[in-house]
Chains A and B, each alone.
Chain A
């Protein structure tokens, strides 16, 4: 079917009057990128748009805000809220810890092998998510985890008696940080490498202290990459499901798990509410990115 209609168009093109012949050269230019755009539209853009439009329709296909309004029920708001908290906490902790590690290995005067080993390890750990990661933390900080047991027997500190629970906000955050820190390291190390040694030396000869140099040059220069990475880490955590699902089952009510349950079994008993939840997720990650773009264009006029 599709093939036929395509060749019909091609024939129509061939019989077109000569006046249009010139404009016909253009499509051959675009032929090289056509597969990419077909792929992107069919499997990235349309499915997303489909959900976004569905979020504003009822079962009968009529336009409505009812699904969006329904998002503000206590259960769903709570899920969004805990998702945002976990994503924000893990991205901020991951970002600052990752930055500290990156600075330590690039500028700290540590041996060279530490730098390359850390970078390789970061490449591994930033992709080490999902079930294996969840299980690693269960084996570490679960009720029978190595650290939990060691702390209890050696120091007499019972983490769980003090209110710690791996299947909680902090438990999930500390687990997410495991892939957030390395991702930050991988992205920010090239940016720190981009800081020229001469800038520091120029600042020093001009009388600046190390702190002044950092405040006036290093932080402003790193800030855009840093903020961009924080946004990326946020989105990374916000959409993550496998780790949380393996860790907590469905006992921790975060948005991706809620959506997962909805897709599997329509637990909300409203298909279009599922669309609205998906819409909400894109809305939040999209908002974060728009904020980032706005920030960049507004304050970074020195970037080429």
Chain B
């Protein structure tokens, strides 16, 4: 028992060292812009860079649209599968897991070839179309996470009973979805949304290959050309990811606790 505890601590400390040393090193590096003293110059330069602001805002907007698209596709599907078409569950689950098997670079390669400017659906013929395609691609990448979050949320509230109860009380479909189901899975949807945000905000491959002025390619470009600013940006990116995950964690405390979960 005591030896076990020793090893547990040893493993934990070793792991913590592996995970924290790079962060410390990056922080340290990001503060070294001014010779001889630690300063926040690198952060000032980065945050003041108009290109940073433009690409970051672009990525935030793309992330918001991605979340909206993801919610629109996933919530009705997951709900309908739970309620009416449980026999389709394996198919839908298989599809939602595909983005974990098909690399993003392959998916976007397919888009470029299928939706080029002289194809029947020329997404890439215009800026707006290309932005839309980026949102679509991100929604596909986030599909596994979004679906799992929402499906888990639906499982804990027992949609079938809730729907039937609402129907008996005379509610129509619109009322059921907006007043009964959505409020109850809101936390789950938001968890999926923040995870999507974390994935999308610094994504490089799709944005770069679709030639979008997004945050990921900007970062990449900066690494190649600057010394201290990328360190500051890495820390900012880490903080954003951390913020998203903390929000998910905080939200999960407000999630409805299932009243009738078996066991």
Task: Please say whether the chains A and B touch (CB closer than 8 A).
Answer: yes
Q: Which residues of A contact B (CB under 8 A)?
A: 29-30, 32-33, 35-36, 39-40, 43-48, 50-51, 54, 97, 100-101, 103-105, 107-110, 114, 118, 120-121, 123-125, 127-128, 130-140, 145-147, 177-178, 181-182, 232, 235-236, 238-242, 245-246, 249, 256, 259-260, 263-264, 274, 278, 281-282, 285-286, 289
User: Which residues does chain A contribute within 8 Å of B88, judged by CB atoms?
Assistant: 33
Q: With a CB–CB cut-off of 8 A, which chain A residues contact B111?
A: 43, 47
Known: A44-B102, A232-B100. 18 other contacts (CB 8 A): A33-B77, A39-B139, A45-B95, A51-B109, A51-B113, A97-B15, A101-B15, A103-B11, A108-B12, A109-B8, A131-B220, A134-B223, A136-B26, A139-B28, A146-B21, A241-B105, A246-B220, A281-B103
Tell me if B238 is interfacial: C-beta within 8 Å of chain A: yes
- Judge whether B63 is part of the interface by a CB distance below 8 angstroms: no
Q: Complex Cα distance A128/B23, Å?
A: 11
* B205 neighbours in A (Cβ, 8 Å): 241-242, 256, 260
Q: Which of B49-57, B79-87, B158-166, B180-188 forms contacts with chain A? A: B79-87
A177 to B18, CA, bound (A): 10
In the complex, chain B residues whose CB is within 8 Å of the CB of A135: 26, 223, 230-231, 233-234
10 A-B contacts, Cβ less than 8 Å apart? Answer: A33-B85, A100-B15, A118-B12, A120-B246, A127-B199, A128-B237, A135-B233, A139-B234, A146-B29, A286-B101
**A263 adjacent to B85 (CB under 8 Å):** no
Chain B residues near A (Cβ < 8 Å): 1, 4-5, 7-9, 11-12, 15, 18-19, 21-26, 28-29, 72-74, 76-77, 79-81, 84-85, 88, 92, 95, 98-107, 109-114, 136-137, 139-140, 143, 195, 198-199, 202-205, 208-209, 216, 219-220, 223-224, 230-231, 233-235, 237-238, 241-242, 244-246, 248-249
Tell me if A256 and B15 are in contact (CB < 8 A). Answer: no
Pair B72/A35 contact, Cβ less than 8 Å:
yes
- Asked whether, in the complex, the Cβ of A109 is within 8 Å of the Cβ of B4, the reply is yes
Complex Cα distance A104/B102, Å?
33
Task: Point out the residues of chain B lying under 8 angstroms from A239, CB to CB.
Answer: 102-106
Specify the main secondary structure of chain B where it touches its partner: helix
Report the bound CA distance from A130 to B222 in whole Å: 13
Known: A124-B245, A140-B26. A114 touches B12 (CB 8 A): yes
Contact: A48 with B19, CB < 8 Å?
A: no
Does A110 lie within 8 Å of B12, measured CB to CB?
A: yes
The distance in angstroms between the C-alpha atoms of A105 and B28, with both chains bound, is 29
Contacting pair B202 A33 (CB below 8 A): no
Contacts A140-B21, A246-B220 given; indicate if A128 touches B241 (C-beta within 8 A).
yes
- What A residues does B74 contact at CB under 8 A? 36
- The answer on a CB contact under 8 Å between B95 and A30 is no
| B-side contacts of A123, CB under 8 Å | 245, 248-249
Tell me how far the C-beta of A242 lies from the nearest C-beta in chain B, rounded to whole angstroms: 4
Q: A291–B195 Cα gap in the complex (Å)?
A: 29
CB pair A33 B81 closer than 8 Å: yes
- Residue numbers in B under 8 Å from A236 (CB-CB): 100
Chain A residues near B101 (CB, 8 Å)?
A: 235, 282, 285-286, 289
Residues of chain A within 8 A (CB-CB) of B102 are 44, 48, 239, 282, 285
Q: Is the CB of A109 within 8 A of B5?
A: yes
| Assembled-state Cα–Cα distance A285/B113 (Å) | 22
Determine if A32 and B109 form an interchain contact, defined as CB atoms under 8 angstroms apart: no
B residues near A238, Cβ cutoff 8 Å: 103
Residues of B with C-beta under 8 A to A104? 7-9, 11-12, 15
Closest 4 CB pairs of A and B: A108-B8, A47-B110, A239-B103, A32-B80
Contact check, A124 vs B220: say whether CB atoms are below 8 A apart.
no
The answer to whether B109 touches A278 (Cβ under 8 A) is yes
Given the known inter-chain contacts A139-B231, A263-B112, please indicate yes or no for A48 contacting B107, CB distance below 8 A.
yes
Pairwise interchain contact A246-B223, C-beta atoms closer than 8 A: yes
Given A121-B19, A235-B101, A239-B103, A131:B209 Cβ within 8 A: no
Contact check, A44 vs B140: say whether CB atoms are below 8 A apart: yes
Instruction: Tell me if A260 and B209 are in contact (CB < 8 A).
Output: yes
Contact pick for B80, options A33, A136, A278, CB 8 Å = A33
| B113 CB → nearest A CB, Å | 6
Q: Which residues of A contact B234 (CB under 8 A)?
A: 131-133, 135-136, 139
Of all chain A residues, the one with the shortest Cβ separation from B115 is A47
Given that A101-B11, A104-B12, A125-B19 are contacting pairs, would A282 and B76 also be in contact in the complex, using a CB cutoff of 8 Å? Answer: no
Best-surrounded residue of B15, B74, B81, B199 (most CB of chain A within 10 A): B15
A33 touches B92 (CB 8 A): yes
Is the Cβ of A127 less than 8 Å from the Cβ of B245?
yes
Per the bound structure, the CA–CA distance linking A51 and B81 in Å amounts to 30
**Bound form: Cα–Cα A20–B59 in Å:** 50
Nearest A residue (CB) for B222: A131
Nearest chain-A residue to B198 (Cβ)? A127
Given contacts A105-B12, A110-B8, A130-B203, contact A120 B109 (CB under 8 A): no
